């Protein structure tokens, strides 16, 4: 366990903190569902697989909301080794943000997470976020008309007893790890490390001359 791989992400919080903030997280070898879908399932997942992902997301939202936490833009990620879904956060991701978060004049509530959940469901089915130039359904922009996570869990779609093993078998089987997928995509670039233009050193400018001629 001590040798378990971890993902280390440095977050430059711009001016809000004098140091770089390092976040140590469990390493999700399979990477984000978004990258998995774009790599191996560009037309989206099948309905049974979607149901597994969405059900586990709802359990996480139900738990977090019970703890009083908001999750302003909720996205799931996965791990091939532990066969579990982890719940991550991409704050400020506009595709997944509920309208009342974007227009946050009066604050927002747990219902903002339900909006993000809906967008994620559409992405799992279509392979991408819904078309942005089409107006969203009027009723769903009203937070009070959205159900909460516990109500959604009662929907028949989630009565399916299939577990995450089903998901591993149908989505993750044969999938290269996130490092390999990254190297594949990086290999498409024609970047040459020996490019002379990269060798340009930053020459220090010595002091300015502020003396004024008489």
Binding site for other proteins (CB under 8 A): 15-18, 65-66, 68, 105-107, 109-111, 143-144, 148, 200, 202-203, 205-213
CB of 162 to other proteins, least distance (A): 29
CB of 16 to other proteins, least distance (A): 6
Burial class, 189, CB count within 10 angstroms (exposed 0-12 / middle 13-18 / buried 19+):
exposed
CB of 22 to other proteins, least distance (A): 17
- Euclidean distance between CA atoms 186 and 181, whole angstroms: 9
For other proteins, which is the closer residue by CB, 131 or 200? 200
DSSP class of residue 6 equals E
For other proteins, which is the closer residue by CB, 192 or 213? 213
Specify which residues 24 forms β-bridges with: 8
For other proteins, which is the closer residue by CB, 80 or 109? 109
DSSP class of residue 70 equals -
CB of 66 to other proteins, least distance (A): 8
CB of 148 to other proteins, least distance (A): 7
- Cβ proximity of 170 and 52 under 8 Å: no
For other proteins, which is the closer residue by CB, 3 or 209? 209
What do you get for the CA distance between the two ends of the chain, in Å?
74
For other proteins, which is the closer residue by CB, 10 or 209? 209
- Euclidean distance between CA atoms 203 and 22, whole angstroms: 31
């Amino acid at each position: 366990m001590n040798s378990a791989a971890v993902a280390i992400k440095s977050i430059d919080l711009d001016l809000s903190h004098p140091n770089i903030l390092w976040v140590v997280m469990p390493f999700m070898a399979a990477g984000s569902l978004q990258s998995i879908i774009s790599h191996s399932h560009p037309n989206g997942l099948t309905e049974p697989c979607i149901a597994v992902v969405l059900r586990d997301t709802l359990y996480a939202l139900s738990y977090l909301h019970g703890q009083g936490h908001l999750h302003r833009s909720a996205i799931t990620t996965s791990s091939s080794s532990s066969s579990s879904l982890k719940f991550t956060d991409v704050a400020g991701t506009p595709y997944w943000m509920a309208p009342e978060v974007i227009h946050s004049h009066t604050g927002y509530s747990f219902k903002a997470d339900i909006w993000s959940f809906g967008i994620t469901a559409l992405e799992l089915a279509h392979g991408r976020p819904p078309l942005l130039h089409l107006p969203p359904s009027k009723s769903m922009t009203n937070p009070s008309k959205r159900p909460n996570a516990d109500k959604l869990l009662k929907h028949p779609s989630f009565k399916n007893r299939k577990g995450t093993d089903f998901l591993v078998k149908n989505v993750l089987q044969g999938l290269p790890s996130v490092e390999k997928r990254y190297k594949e995509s990086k290999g498409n670039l024609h970047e040459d490390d020996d490019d002379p233009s990269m060798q340009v050193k930053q020459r220090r400018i010595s002091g300015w001359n502020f003396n004024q001629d008489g």
